């Protein structure tokens, strides 16, 4: 219905490869239990560093999912 209710949450994914991979990991994990995910908006990108080297890429994303009726 057009009267559906949604909740918005913010998640952070991490990957040693890329920001795409970081975002994809966390969204696809969330997608297995949440309803009706359609868009994930990036709200922050950063990197963790260890001993002067990049250790991981992190992507923070906002997704909305439909609340159960």
Q: Provide the binding-site residues for a copy of itself, judged by CB under 8 A.
A: 2-16, 18-20, 23-32, 37-42, 44-57, 60-61, 63-64, 67
As a whole number of angstroms, the distance between CA 27 and CA 12 comes to 9
CB of 69 to a copy of itself, least distance (A): 10
Residue entry with tokens 């969330």: 30
Question: Minimum distance from CB of 19 to a copy of itself (Å)?
Answer: 6
CB of 36 to a copy of itself, least distance (A): 9
Q: What is the C-alpha to C-alpha distance for residues 49 and 55, in angstroms, rounded to an integer?
A: 5
């Amino acid at each position: 219905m057009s009267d559906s209710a949604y909740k918005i949450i913010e998640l952070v994914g991490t990957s040693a490869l890329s920001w795409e991979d970081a975002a994809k990991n966390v969204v696809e994990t969330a997608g297995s239990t949440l309803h009706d995910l359609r868009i994930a908006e990036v709200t922050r990108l950063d990197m963790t560093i260890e001993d002067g080297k990049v250790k991981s890429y992190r992507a923070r994303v906002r997704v909305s999912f439909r609340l159960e009726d």
